[in-house]
Amino acid sequence: MTNTNYKEYLEHITTFIFDVDGVLTDGTVTVMTNGDMLRRMNIKDGYALKTAKDAGFNICIISGGSNLGVQKRLEGLGITDIYLGAHHKINQFNEYLSHNNIDSKKVLYMGDDIPDIPVMKLVGLPCCPQDAAIEVKATSKYISHNDGGKGAVRDIIEQVMKVQNKWNGNFDAKYD
């Protein structure tokens, strides 16, 4: 169950860190006869990532998977801090924060499975999609109402940016 106190953290977030499989994708792969594994990413999540990047937020991806297509998609959104093949995510997390002088309390991390938990325990706002593993849900301060690959990333980015008056150029329209 989502902790409603998560909203107190939104105004302090400067950095978003996301896992890929199960967060930016629905966690399934289509295995081709040549061995390639295809993933699907939500275009609305991509819009939110680009919008956050353009608004000055730090965006980092840390994933155990290694897929050139995923890397190209993220680079196309302007994301340059991409760690693929990260089997002990804590190492890349510590390196990224140290290199960029980022306070872990100002970090939002969204993961969906067991390898994400060590990093989630170190950030200000650990989050997960609705369909995350039960252990991840227990570690999260916010559980999106969306599944991984189906708008969970957009959901939390939009909430942070609205609280900070940075969503959509701070138009007067209200979005629910």
Express each pLDDT in 6-34 by its tens digit: 888 999 999 999 999 999 999 887 888 88
| Per-residue pLDDT at 170 exceeds 80 | no
Q: What is the pLDDT of residue 27?
A: 84
Separation in Å, CA 48 to CA 31, 158, 176: 28, 7, 15
Domains parsed from the chain with CATH numbers: 10-110+117-140+147-161 (3.40.50.1000)
Q: What is the pLDDT of residue 169?
A: 57
Bridge partners (DSSP) of residue 110 are 18, 127
Separation in Å, CA 96 to CA 54, 104, 163: 19, 10, 25
Q: What is the pLDDT of residue 4?
A: 59
Segment 25-44 shows an average pLDDT of 86
Instruction: Report residue 1 as tokens.
Output: 């169950």
Q: Cα dihedral angle (69, 99, 125, 76), rounded to 10 degrees?
A: -20
Express each pLDDT in 89-123 by its tens digit: 999 999 999 999 999 999 999 999 999 999 999 99
Q: What is the pLDDT of residue 17?
A: 98
Q: What is the pLDDT of residue 30?
A: 81
CB count, 10 Å around CB of 30? 9
User: Higher model confidence: residue 169 or residue 59?
Assistant: 59
Mean pLDDT of the chain: 91
Name which of 36-45, 72-81, 167-176 the model is least confident about: 167-176
Half-sphere exposure of 89 (CA within 13 A, CB side): 26
Instruction: Determine contact, residues 55/166, Cβ cutoff 8 Å.
Output: yes
Express each pLDDT in 62-88 by its tens digit: 998 888 888 999 999 999 999 999 989
Separation in Å, CA 7 to CA 137, 142, 144: 17, 9, 13
| Per-residue pLDDT at 142 exceeds 50 | yes
Instruction: Report residue 153 as tokens.
Output: 């990333």
Report helix, strand or coil for 109: strand
With bands split at pLDDT 50, 70 and 90, how would you rate the model's confidence at 40?
Answer: confident
- Residues 50-84, buried b or exposed e (16+ Cβ, 10 A)? bbbbebebbbbbbbbbebeebbebbeebebebbbb
- Cα R_g (the chain), whole angstroms: 15
Task: Provide, rounded to the nearest whole percent, the portion of the chain with pLDDT above 90.
Answer: 77
Q: Cα–Cα distance between 116 and 78 in angstroms, integer?
A: 24
